[in-house]
Structure 1
């Protein structure tokens, strides 16, 4: 009996020294590192760190792509920091498009809640997977692969994208090529596009060089 009590006592002692850290709410006042944000002191954490109302309203679609992506990543929603999850809202006006892009840090699961969205991705073997989605449909985009979403119904469309990372990252292919100071000559060499096309796209997207 004494032996059993000693074992139970040792288990409780071990548990006390091996406490699980339940969460790591992002300290947005600290610098972000490749490993993510540092944890806010537990004493400063409140319920508001785990709640967000940022996806209630539609994003502004009066822009060149007629679309808006409203992210709730760790930088906007501190409670998801370190949990390997996040979410974003996608609004597509008629004619709207989210151009070819990648999320280098996570896979994406898209749920359509309004309208019709044609979505697809390209595998590393250059195989194309495309489908027109409607309300209630979901589609997954594997981590790091180029993918896109296009309004396919002529009415405002809405979807919610969940990610397997609190900081999935985003790189839009068109912006990477034509919205910065990458020299036009290099763009032309690497894409086989003529100079007049590259210069036109840079003018539209605000690039130089």
Structure 2
């Protein structure tokens, strides 16, 4: 016979496993998710990237997202894109995507890329035109164009209709975490913490 405590612990464990198994995009029971209106092929067409053709290259790093927020037809399909534009010397700061892995394809230019695993090992690479690099789900990663003259352009595919992006600098230094906690965490003086916070607000 099991005690009430053992049964409770077993149920908590089972529900925890079920929650983890459903942590990504949920499976849908239809071909696709559609609004309660008549749709045609236009619903499955996204034209928001036309601005890239003949457009002016940005002066700072810019990501054009194509997630379920911009393209509702992606709902339930577990895919999304982002076009990443890197002027010379620009960086996509360290960040994570909590829900999917990211597969990056470099269309032109060069990029320094890398991620850090949970053993604190840095995996870094210099990508050339036509190269691909995968960033595993939920791990801290970055991309940097260190070319002083040429821009770089990449496309990233995600295994979620809503990848989510959490910027590490912004999440740590621009969210009102008590400065004493940041001092202790980074072994830095409060003046240093405030300088970083001010720099991120600029």
Same fold (TM over 0.5): yes
Partner of residue 195, structure 2: 200
Structure 1 position 24 matched with structure 2 position 18: no
Structure 1 position 44 matched with structure 2 position 75: no
Partner of residue 166, structure 1: 161
Greater Rg by CA: 1
Q: CA contact under 8 A between 1:180 and 1:206: conserved in structure 2? A: no
Structure 1 unaligned blocks of 5 or more:
1-19, 26-39
How far apart are residue 47 of structure 1 and its match? 2.1
Q: CA contact under 8 A between 2:67 and 2:74: conserved in structure 1? A: yes
Matches within 5 A, 1:100-139: 100-139=94-133
Q: CA contact under 8 A between 1:60 and 1:68: conserved in structure 2? A: no
TM-score, structure 1 length as denominator?
0.76
Separation in structure 2 between the aligned mates of residue 60 and residue 68 of structure 1, nearest angstrom: 9
Q: Deviations over 1:125-171 (max 9, x none)?
A: 11111011121100000000000000032311100000000011110
* Residues 46, 128 of structure 1: alpha-carbon distance in 2 compared, 3 angstrom cutoff: same
Q: Deviations over 1:15-70 (max 9, x none)?
A: xxxxx621014xxxxxxxxxxxxxx12x33332221112223358744xxx20111
Q: CA contact under 8 A between 1:105 and 1:143: conserved in structure 2? A: yes
Range with bigger deviation, 197-206 or 84-93: 197-206
Partner of residue 156, structure 1: 151
Separation in structure 1 between the aligned mates of residue 179 and residue 123 of structure 2, nearest angstrom: 31
Q: Greater RCO between the two (CA within 8 Å, min separation 6)?
A: 2
Matches within 5 A, 1:174-185: 174-185=169-180
Q: CA contact under 8 A between 2:57 and 2:87: conserved in structure 1? A: no
Partner of residue 53, structure 1: 47
Partner of residue 19, structure 2: none
Separation in structure 1 between the aligned mates of residue 112 and residue 195 of structure 2, nearest angstrom: 27
* Residues 152, 61 of structure 1: alpha-carbon distance in 2 compared, 3 angstrom cutoff: same
Alignment RMSD (CA, Å): 1.8
Structure 2 unaligned blocks of 5 or more:
1-28
* Equivalent of 2:181 in 165, 186, 189: 186
* Residues 194, 56 of structure 1: alpha-carbon distance in 2 compared, 3 angstrom cutoff: farther
Count of aligned pairs between the two proteins: 170
TM-score, structure 2 length as denominator?
0.78
Q: Deviations over 1:172-191 (max 9, x none)?
A: 10011122222222221222
